Amino acid sequence: MTAELARLTAAQAKADEIIRTVGESPDGPLLLRVSVTDTATRQRLATGFVNYTTDQPAAPLRLVEVTS
């Protein structure tokens, strides 16, 4: 296995783990779509949904970049 293939395989496994951890069954009108993207290739590796509720009208969403 090449180094790049090993990196992509590890990235895919981590993306799947993240979505399994936070993802929920789409249920209800208020959903957030959560995507995991490989920043090196700009390829979307996984997508899931998170439900939320609020007493207030939905506010505009903004992009949040998480770095470690």
Residues 6-34 have pLDDT tens digits of: 999 999 999 999 999 999 988 888 889 99
Between 46 and 52, residue with greater pLDDT: 46
Q: What is the DSSP string of 2-68?
A: -HHHHHHHHHHHHHHHHHHHH-B---SS-EEEEEEEETTTTEEEEEEEEE---SSPPPPP-------
The 3-state DSSP class for residue 1 equals coil
Determine the pLDDT at residue 65: 77
